[in-house]
Amino acid sequence: MFKLPPELQSELALVEKYLLEFINFGKEDKTLGEIVKCVIENSGKMIRPSLLLLSGRFGPGYPECRERLCKLGALLEMVHIASLVHDDIIDDSPLRRGKPTIQSRFGKDMAVFTGDFVLSRVLYHLMNEGLLDSGIIIGETISAMCRGEIEQFNSHFDPDATIEGYLSIIRNKTASVFIASCSMGARESGCDGNFSKGLTDLGNHIGHIFQIRDDLLDFQSSEQKEGKPVHVDFRGGIFTLPVLYALQHPEHGKKMRELIIDCEKRPVTDIDIAAMEKIAKQSGGIDFAKEQIVKHTDAAYSILKSLPDNEGLRVITAILKWISSS
Amino acid sequence: MFKLPPELQSELALVEKYLLEFINFGKEDKTLGEIVKCVIENSGKMIRPSLLLLSGRFGPGYPECRERLCKLGALLEMVHIASLVHDDIIDDSPLRRGKPTIQSRFGKDMAVFTGDFVLSRVLYHLMNEGLLDSGIIIGETISAMCRGEIEQFNSHFDPDATIEGYLSIIRNKTASVFIASCSMGARESGCDGNFSKGLTDLGNHIGHIFQIRDDLLDFQSSEQKEGKPVHVDFRGGIFTLPVLYALQHPEHGKKMRELIIDCEKRPVTDIDIAAMEKIAKQSGGIDFAKEQIVKHTDAAYSILKSLPDNEGLRVITAILKWISSS
């Protein structure tokens, strides 16, 4: 990965400090303490808080707004953590990033309430810090994430699933959080309308790249490499770009459709997976997904060109380079 | 049930109006719309918003604070609704109040995200309405509810479960919401410290009566009467006062303990239930639970005597009479 500038490192350390302080569960709750520790260990590279902090470099209110940005970064990461805990229930995932999920270690019941607990702490601290404007964005973001998950659930094993439907799902469930990161950074630092719009659009493109790339990894990686099983999506009836592109293909669409209709009726086998991979590849579905990443990357670079050169710009450019090429 | 005074009826109608407005899911989300409709239909007698509205009668800020109280009533009812949706996942309940639960109709996955969606709307509207003080109480209340559920889950089929542990669970998972109702009403209407404390304590007693009575119904009712199966608690390893009292009984404790240890190892049968009922009754556990209801009822009446006579007092008295005797 790229090297973070020292200042961002110290801000991310502050984000982590607030994260621990905000999730604080009280010493009496031993189980909750153990779960929350495990949740935080499982959490990721803090890419969402980083984008928030970096977007906050573009307004005249920086660096005065730094402390507020770090608190919001912690709260946004908590929203992300809560969503991971609840997602794992749905996916029935045994592992996340090579480590056991909350639901596999503590049971689905605990996962439901741990996620709710973390969300309740987000609500409490937004109120307690009086972060109304950003709180409204966070509220809308969580709603969008739920909408996206519900849309996704509704399209399980749907042979009529479309690329448009998929784009709505990933806009809601993934891009919304990246959009929130960038737009909160812009807003809290007092960016003008143009910069604000540019940063919000940038969040949207980065979010799309992030999800399409993640979906492609489900096609390409081995269990060892990514720390999670492969083709979980297709096995669970979730169809991503390579499959959806193949479905609408004049030549290969029929085969993919028949496979999906078969797979809905019985457990998906490795033979089904091999067949699906073959059709997706032959139809050009995997290339199509890669092209979408290029399209969003180009659009993101073009926005970056319109922004003033500062540390925020340089590090976001590095993040973009890393996300779009890895 | 008691007859609501016309003014409370019109306020509860306003609570319902805000409830529908706040949960608003957007016309595009057909499934979410269907689920939310089902959720609202399954919601109860609005006892928590009623207590909030009635507690709001005791401060000098009434009736100016009415609109705000109605909004908070809707938001508190939404917290209750979200918790019911998530609880049903854990309980694996097919029915609530005689109607199919969200998870039995739409699946556990949908139940997780519907609950989260409703919570996200609570967060959004608290921010949007700038209801910071009460928002802090709501945040703490949701955290307490999660703590209570986690404590309860941890004590499943625990032969060392105690009455103290049970009291902590019901304080967190149930009484906290009644406490929030009364203390938000007191705070928003500008009650002085004494009235505020009295009303908060009143909420605590009513919450305890409510839960202990509900637990006893699981002992007494038939499936037809309450719209839900009987002895769900014991079958699921949740031990309430009659069982916990028997467990610590010098004469009957050993039998109950052995039964519990047996039941943990295999599916609980009707013969187990009959044995548990017999021990609970013989030990005086059912009478003990009823005595606790009387104790909290007496304490609640004594608080009511210290409050000024107004519509709030009269209707809370009627609610208390109904809850404690039915």
% of chain B with per-residue pLDDT over 70:
91
Chain A partners within 8 Å of B120 (Cβ):
119, 139, 142-143, 145-146
Contact A117 B90 (CB under 8 A): no
Q: How far apart are CA A200 and CA B24, in angstroms?
A: 25
Chain B partners within 8 Å of A143 (Cβ):
117, 120-121, 124
With an 8 Å Cβ cutoff, is B176 touching chain A? Answer: no
Q: How far apart are CA B252 and CA B81, in angstroms?
A: 39
Cα–Cα distances in angstroms (integers) from residue A314 to residues A3, A30, A44, B128, in the given order: 11, 43, 22, 35
pLDDT at B102: 73
Contact B127 A139 (CB under 8 A): yes
**What confidence tens digit (pLDDT) does each residue in B255-278 have?**
999 999 999 999 999 999 999 999
Chain B partners within 8 Å of A80 (Cβ):
none
Contact B120 A114 (CB under 8 A): no
Tell me the two tokens of residue B196.
Answer: 């505020």
With an 8 Å Cβ cutoff, is A128 touching chain B? Answer: yes
pLDDT at A227: 53
pLDDT at A222: 47
Are the beta carbons of B175 and B201 closer than 8 angstroms?
A: no
Q: What is the CA radius of gyration of chain B?
A: 20
Q: Which range among A91-95, A217-221, B236-240, B245-249 shows the weakest confidence by mean pLDDT?
A: A91-95
Smallest CA–CA distance, residue A152 to chain B, in Å, is: 10
Minimal CA–CA distance to B307: which of B206, B205, B208, B186? B186
Instruction: Give the confidence band of B92 by pLDDT, cuts at 50, 70, 90.
Output: low
Chain B partners within 8 Å of A147 (Cβ):
26, 29, 32, 117
pLDDT per residue of chain A (326 residues) written in tens, 0 to 9: 556 778 889 999 999 999 989 987 666 566 777 777 777 776 667 899 999 999 999 999 999 999 999 999 999 999 998 998 888 777 666 766 677 777 777 788 888 998 999 999 999 999 999 999 999 999 999 999 999 998 998 899 999 999 999 999 999 999 999 999 999 999 999 999 999 999 999 999 999 999 999 999 988 754 445 555 678 899 989 999 999 999 999 999 999 999 999 999 999 999 999 999 999 999 999 999 999 999 999 999 999 999 999 999 999 999 999 988 86
Average pLDDT, chain B: 90
Beta bridge partners of B95: B100
% of chain B with per-residue pLDDT over 90:
71
Q: Best-predicted range by mean pLDDT among A40-49, A170-179, B8-17, B143-152?
A: A170-179
Q: Which range among B135-149, B198-212, B224-238 shows the weakest confidence by mean pLDDT?
A: B224-238
Average pLDDT over residues B86-96: 73
With an 8 Å Cβ cutoff, is A150 touching chain B? Answer: yes
